[in-house]
Amino acid sequence: LFERAVAADPGVPPFRCNLGQALLDAHRLPEAQSAFEAVLRLDARSIDAHAGLAKALCWQGRPHDAAEVYAQGAAASGDAGLALSGAL
């Protein structure tokens, strides 16, 4: 359903973010990463997209890249939770 929603209107960040989360939950990590990156191209301040992208990177064995995404997300959005996640 999320893939259909994105196909119907690819410019809606929440549709892509929901797709990314579903792909992450299914452990389709490269696809989840791509979905979250697409969200961030549309909305660079998306807290959910930064968190999802960081998880996808971490689960792919790229913790340093994940920490960088958390830091970028915290800077872009001002979200303290992203900053804390990146520090951990």
| pLDDT 10s digits, 45-77 | 999 999 999 999 999 999 999 999 999 999 999
Q: Model pTM?
A: 0.92
Q: How far apart are CA 17 and CA 38, in angstroms?
A: 9
**DSSP per-residue codes, 31-56:** HHHHHHHHHHHH-TT-HHHHHHHHHH
pLDDT at 88 over 90: no
Is residue 61 within 8 A of residue 30, CB to CB? The reply is no
